[in-house]
């Protein structure tokens, strides 16, 4: 599946699952039962996972799961010992000084203010148990680092430090966050309680409005009365309106029907009128489920 189609499915499901203001009033109108909520425990472990833009750190503070896409070394001053091993310029080895455009080979040791090493190309340092290591330290192969100065592969402060060095020269340098991985962006960090409750009965609109471009990507040119199935679900719908650059869909249900509305379990239609539909989630204590937007699994407690 293409990334564009995956995003389109996510959009449709988010619209379908979107909560509504005045939930209690709508439940009274539909005369749905008041049932105890579903209680969940998120099974979070401290880990780092890859993403499209680098890595994401997942950890818990005991009460919440923290999702932090900031680089692990963001907000930190980095200290390096850099040894320049070789300079290649116009396919010829030169003694230096190194300049922008040169391809260079270096060995280095990098450490934090605490004295903990966070990275090194030197096996003698990386494998020495007496040398304190940062929690982010991870090395399997120890080889010199090769890069072209100015190519932007490395943090700016490291490239600038190598400029002007001679072969076999060693330099010590401290690089502030603005020349390394930047400051920590608190707005990127999200927090989710480890224990959550969600309603066992939910009420949703039967009309769903999606951009026409999203509709066309899946179903072609919209026509009033057209019958379709919502991607990622077993829910059918008919096209009600195609004006204003959007497509309005009317979701089709029957009381007693079992459907999937985007949760990691099925739900039963328990009440319905022309505008609203009520679902009861069918989930049992002890089940371990996987929400599609969370990087961990979740246990249903009750």
SS3 assignment, position 183: coil
Q: What are phi and psi of 88, to 5 degrees?
A: -115, 120
pLDDT digits (tens, 9 = 90+) for 89-116: 999 999 989 999 999 999 999 999 999 9
Confidence of residue 53 (pLDDT cuts 50, 70, 90): low
pLDDT digits (tens, 9 = 90+) for 25-43: 444 477 888 899 999 999 9
Phi-psi region of 38 (alpha: psi -120 to 50; beta: other; left: phi over 0): beta
| Residue of higher predicted confidence among 23 and 71 | 71
What single DSSP character describes residue 36? P
| pLDDT given at position 208 | 85
Percent helix, strand, coil in the chain, to 5, is: 15, 40, 45
Whether the CB-CB separation of 134 and 118 falls below 8 Å is answered with yes
Q: Is 55 exposed, middle or buried (0-12, 13-18, 19+ CB in 10 A)?
A: middle
Lowest mean pLDDT among 17-21, 72-76, 193-197, 277-281: 17-21
Q: What are phi and psi of 228, to 5 degrees?
A: -135, 170
Whether the CB-CB separation of 76 and 180 falls below 8 Å is answered with yes
Integer CA distances (angstroms), 231 to 1, 207, 261, 293, in order? 12, 16, 10, 16
Sign of CA dihedral 170, 172, 177, 179: negative
pTM of model > 0.85: no
| Residue of higher predicted confidence among 37 and 56 | 37
| pLDDT given at position 26 | 42
Q: E strands along 97-226, which residues?
A: 103-111, 117-120, 145-148, 170-175, 190-193, 195-198, 201-205, 207-211
Q: What is the mean pLDDT of the chain?
A: 88
The CA distance from 215 to 222, in Å, is: 7
| pLDDT given at position 7 | 44
Ranges of each domain in the chain: 3-44+194-300, 78-179
| Residue of higher predicted confidence among 60 and 234 | 60
Q: What percent of the chain stands above pLDDT 70?
A: 89
The CA distance from 157 to 169, in Å, is: 17
pLDDT exceeds 70 at position 173: yes
Q: Which two tokens stand for residue 289?
A: 């489920």
- Total H helices, total E strands in the chain: 5, 22
| Residue of higher predicted confidence among 21 and 92 | 92
What single DSSP character describes residue 198? E
pLDDT digits (tens, 9 = 90+) for 257-269: 999 888 999 999 9
As a whole number, mean pLDDT of residues 221-237 equals: 87
| pLDDT given at position 52 | 61
Confidence of residue 138 (pLDDT cuts 50, 70, 90): confident
| CATH T-level topology, domain 78-179 | Chitinase A; domain 3 (3.10.50)
| pLDDT given at position 234 | 80
Q: Which two tokens stand for residue 2?
A: 């293409």
pLDDT digits (tens, 9 = 90+) for 231-290: 777 889 999 999 989 999 999 999 999 998 889 999 999 999 988 999 999 999 999 999
Q: Which two tokens stand for residue 179?
A: 């020349």
Q: Kindly give, in sequence order, each residue whose CB lies less than 8 Å from that of residue 137, ignoring residues fewer than 6 positions away.
A: 116, 117, 118, 119, 126
């Amino acid at each position: 599946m293409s990334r564009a189609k995956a995003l389109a499915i996510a959009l449709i499901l988010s619209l379908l699952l979107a909560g509504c203001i005045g939930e209690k009033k709508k439940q009274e109108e539909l005369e749905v039962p008041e049932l105890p909520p579903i209680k969940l425990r998120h099974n979070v472990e401290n880990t780092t996972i890859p993403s499209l833009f680098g890595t994401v750190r997942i950890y818990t503070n005991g009460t919440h799961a923290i999702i932090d896409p900031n680089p692990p070394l963001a907000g930190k001053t980095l200290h390096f010992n850099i040894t320049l091993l070789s300079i290649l310029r116009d396919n010829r080895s030169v003694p230096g000084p190194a300049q922008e455009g040169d391809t260079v080979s270096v060995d280095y040791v990098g450490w934090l203010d605490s004295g903990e090493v966070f990275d090194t190309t030197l096996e003698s340092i990386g494998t020495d148990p007496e040398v304190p290591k940062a929690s982010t330290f991870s090395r399997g192969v120890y080889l010199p680092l090769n890069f072209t100065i100015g190519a932007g592969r490395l943090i700016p402060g490291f490239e600038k430090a190598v400029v002007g060095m001679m072969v076999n020269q060693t330099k010590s340098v401290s690089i502030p966050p603005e020349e390394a991985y930047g400051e920590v962006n608190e707005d990127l960090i999200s927090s989710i309680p480890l224990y959550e409750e969600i309603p066992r009965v939910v009420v949703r609109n039967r009309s769903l409005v999606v951009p026409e471009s999203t509709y066309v990507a899946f179903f072609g040119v919209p026509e009033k009365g057209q019958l379709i199935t919502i991607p990622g679900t077993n829910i059918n719908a008919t096209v009600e309106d195609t004006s204003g650059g959007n497509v309005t869909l009317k979701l089709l249900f029957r009381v007693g029907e079992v459907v999937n509305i985007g949760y990691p379990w099925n739900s039963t239609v328990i009440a319905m009128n022309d505008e609203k539909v009520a679902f009861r989630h069918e989930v049992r204590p002890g089940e371990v489920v996987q929400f599609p937007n969370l990087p961990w699994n979740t246990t249903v407690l009750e």
